[in-house]
A and B are shown apart, each in its own frame.
Chain A
Amino acid sequence: MNEILMIARKELLSVVRERRVLFTTLILPILIMPLLMFGPILLFGSAARQTQESVQKVGVVGVPAAVLEQLRKARVEPVEIAKPQEAVQNREVEAALVFEKDKYTLYGRLSGGATQSALVVEKVQGALRAYKDQLVAERLRARGIGTEVLEPFRLETKDASREQERAAGLFAFLIPYFLVLFIQMGGMPVAVDATAGEKEKGTLEALLAAPVPLIQILLGKGLAVFVMSLLSTLAALTGLLLGGAVFRNLFAAQLRAVQDGENPAQLGGALALDPLGYLSMLLTGVLFALLIIAIMISLGLYARSFKEAQSYMSPLMLVMIIPILFLQFSDFLKLQDWYFTLPFINVVLALDALVKGSATALQLVITWLSTLLFAGMALYLAYRNFQREDVVFRN
């Protein structure tokens, strides 16, 4: 036990002395999390608002004067053009409107997500809708009918998601991702240093020749990686929660504008779980950390050098992207309980469910047990690697 703590202490000391590592694992997450979460929405939000407010050119062909009037009201500038489709393609205009007989055709660059053109198309659609409503109202009035026939009932949509889900907001699916990412990224420098790094420096031989059982060496190193993982994840969470609060206050006006004056909390980045929820998240994170640490130590021991170890571990982060992609569409597939036995995927699913407050006890227990099993297997593999001289003395 004493040896385990001593080895862990030494590994941490080596890494802590490197300011670069300290910065990337502890300071950077605090700084970068709020930027990652709120940066895009602020940037995109204000860009979108500008598009709303400024006036863009829209090509028109054969559009009647009344509609042109409506377009100007919707803050676009109609310009006569000859070839609408090409003009839009070449970005001479953001959109083009063509009127033939009784049909309007609207051109815009609509592929590729949130284009500026798409926003202008919305403006033009709005203008046309307003014009249509105006025409309908006029005709009804001409026949002596009130406009209320157009609206036989009212429709209101209300958000019925759980309180937790609402707090996590738009970014709910990102929270598990960042948790998993920082558990891994935070541990990686120590994992590399304690395995391939010792190999490269040549210190591993002295360590293995010492009268300390291999299992204690392994556990000592694992403990050091675990501590760094945990610190890094806590740093990321601090960044997320603290940064979220700061951002909401500093940019309250902008955020409100982006969301049409709704409560800024909607943007998310706040966790609102009950104590049991937080505990469950912690347990899930810790079990996942055990698994990923054992895998990283195995890989690091197998690698011949620092560089090799890094190139083995980096793809691991890409692997973690797969369950995240899965998660984005998790709402569309019916979650089967056995999904929670799949390594990596189960952790992400469970964290996501916890953030949204929808996790069932069965799902959590399955996740914990299977992750514990995988972690045990990975730990055994790491131990075997430590024992095998063709792994430790590979060249």
Chain B
Amino acid sequence: MLTLKPTQTQLAIEVSELKKVFRKRDGLRAPLKEEWALKGVSFQVREGETYGLLGPNGSGKSTLIRILSTLLTADGGTVRMLGYRLPEDEARLRRKMGRVSVDAAFYKKLSPRENLLYAAQLYGLEPRQAEKRAMQILEQLGLESRRFSDPIEEMSRGMQQKISIARALLINPPLLLLDEPTTGLDPKSRRDVQAFLEDLRAREGTTILLTTHDMAEAERLAHRIGFLAHGRLVAEGTAEELKRLAGTPDLEEAFIALTGEELDEEAGGL
């Protein structure tokens, strides 16, 4: 498989042999079943780089993001981010990461303004400053400012997703973890979000780890792409490299060829 050896600058994310198992029982007396969501995943992301994770449903993308955002603890392997280790430096890392997840979860009874300020305060930001920054981001994302005080429950999915991105960016994090940030958005909103992310990393040099099902998005945003299947990283490289590797003209076919059923799981592993 293809890997680009990280050369210049520092590594923002170093994940090696990451494993995660979920144990559950079907019934009260049923035996404990083990399900390995991640079976040893290794990859590295350089500072300022955008890394796209592509993988079918259930391949472990969200699990990986949850481990990196300190919500889950790994059952094997090591994680280093921005020079800190997980889980030891969990508390310090939390201040440096913003996370957006596909479900754009909010307190429905509160307005975007209140939701954002709450998040800002959790990160110890000064409310006045946080508010200014929130307004700025929301306007950049194309949300009308007169809606900032309406309850969130009256807003469309797309608007909510934009607010969710604004929330992650409030703390101006050097590291952004995005779990399907544009899933469920219309083409216009999707492009708004993508343009915003491009602008952001150009301005701030933010490192971004992004999962998506959208090939065009991965090609547009990600410097490098990793294909995740059944808890394993089966291929990695730039879009061009992946297409060449699979011998297909577009990324979608490369994705199917490299992660599909015909793929021998063991042979594809790292």
Q: Find chain B residues with CB under 8 A from A209 CB.
A: 69-71, 94, 97, 99
A-B contact pairs, 15 of them (CB 8 A): A6-B118, A13-B110, A14-B109, A17-B110, A17-B151, A205-B99, A206-B119, A206-B167, A207-B122, A209-B71, A211-B91, A211-B123, A212-B122, A213-B91, A393-B66
A324 to B108, CA, bound (A): 39
Interface of chain A residues 188 through 247 with chain B (CB within 8 A): 201-203, 205-213
Q: How many residues of B contact A (CB 8 A)?
A: 29
B118: min CB distance to chain A, Å:
5
Q: Give every chain B residue within 8 A of A390 (Cβ-Cβ).
A: 23
Q: Which residues of B contact A17 (CB under 8 A)?
A: 109-110, 151
In the complex, what residues of A have CB within 8 A of residue B66's CB?
205, 393
CB of A307 within 8 Å of the partner chain: no
CA distance A18 to B66 in the complex (A): 31
Taking a contact as CB atoms under 8 Å apart, the answer to whether A13 and B95 are in contact is no
Q: Is B114 an interface residue (CB 8 A)?
A: yes
B119 A210 Cβ-Cβ under 8 A: yes
Q: Does A10 contact B (CB under 8 A)?
A: yes
> How distant is the Cα of A81 from the Cα of B106 in the complex, in angstroms?
76
Given the complex, which residues of B lie within 8 Å of A206, measured CB to CB?
Answer: 99, 105, 119, 167
Residues 103-150 of B at the A interface (beta carbon under 8 Å) = 103, 105-110, 114, 118-119, 121-124
Most B C-beta atoms less than 10 A away, residue of A3, A14, A17, A208: A17
Secondary structure of the A contact surface, majority rule:
helix
Chain A residues within CB distance 8 Å of chain B = 3, 6, 10, 13-14, 17-18, 201-203, 205-213, 389-390, 393
| Nearest 3 interchain pairs by C-beta | A202-B105, A17-B109, A210-B122
Q: Is B59 an interface residue (CB 8 A)?
A: no
How far is it, in angstroms, between the C-alpha of A389 and the C-alpha of B121 when the chains are bound? 24
Across the interface, A18 reaches (CB within 8 A) one of B71, B99, B109, B167, namely B109
Is there an interface contact between B101 and A205, defined as CB atoms closer than 8 Å?
yes
Select from chain B the residue with minimum beta-carbon distance to A203: B105
Residue of B71, B123, B124, B167 with most partner-chain A CB within 10 A: B71
Q: Say whether B72 faces chain A, with CB atoms less than 8 Å apart.
A: yes
Main secondary structure of the interface of B (DSSP, over half): loop
B126 to chain A, nearest CB (A): 12
- The chain B residues found within 8 Å of chain A, CB to CB, are 23, 66, 69-73, 91, 94-95, 97, 99, 101, 103, 105-110, 114, 118-119, 121-124, 151, 167
Please give the distance in Å from A193's CB to the nearest CB on chain B.
9
Residues in chain A near residue B103, CB distance under 8 A: 202
Assess the B119–A202 pair: CB atoms within 8 A. no
Q: Is the CB of B73 within 8 A of A211?
A: no
Question: Which residue of the partner chain, among A18, A211, A213, A393, contacts B95 with CB atoms under 8 Å?
Answer: A211
Contact present for A201 and B72 (CB under 8 Å): no
Task: Find the residue from B72, B108, B110, B118 having the highest chain A CB count within 10 A.
Answer: B118
B49 to chain A, nearest CB (A): 22
B109 surroundings in chain A (CB, below 8 A): 13-14, 17-18
B120 vs chain A, min Cβ distance (A) = 10
Report the separation of the CA atoms of residues A362 and B114 in the bound assembly, to the nearest whole angstrom: 49
Q: Is the CB of A393 within 8 A of B72?
A: yes
**Chain A residues, Cβ within 8 Å of B99:** 205-206, 209
Contact B97 A10 (CB under 8 A): no
Q: Which of B105, B122, B151 contacts A211 (CB 8 A)?
A: B122
Question: Which residues from B are CB-within-8-Å of A18?
Answer: 109
- The smallest beta-carbon distance between B25 and chain A, in angstroms, is 11
Cross-chain contact B110 with A201 (CB below 8 angstroms): no
Q: Which residues from chain A contact B121 at a C-beta distance below 8 Å?
A: 3, 6
With the chains together, A18 CA to B107 CA distance in Å? 12
For the complex, what is the distance from the CA of A251 to the CA of B106, rounded to whole Å? 51
Contacts of B119 in A (CB 8 A): 206, 210
A3 lies within 8 A of B122 (CB): yes
Nearest-CB residue, chain B, relative to A209: B69
CA distance A37 to B106 in the complex (A): 42
Q: How far is the CB of A361 from chain B (nearest CB, A)?
A: 45
Inter-subunit contact B123/A210 (CB<8 Å): yes
Residue of A nearest to B179 (CB): A205
20 more contacts with CB within 8 A, not counting A206-B167, A209-B97, A210-B122, are: A6-B121, A10-B114, A10-B118, A13-B110, A17-B109, A17-B151, A18-B109, A201-B107, A201-B108, A202-B101, A202-B105, A203-B107, A205-B105, A206-B105, A209-B99, A210-B119, A211-B94, A389-B72, A389-B73, A393-B72
Q: Please name the residue on chain B nearest to A3 by beta carbon.
A: B122
Closest chain A residue, CB of each to CB of B167: A206
- In the complex the two chains form, is A10's CB within 8 Å of B95's CB? no
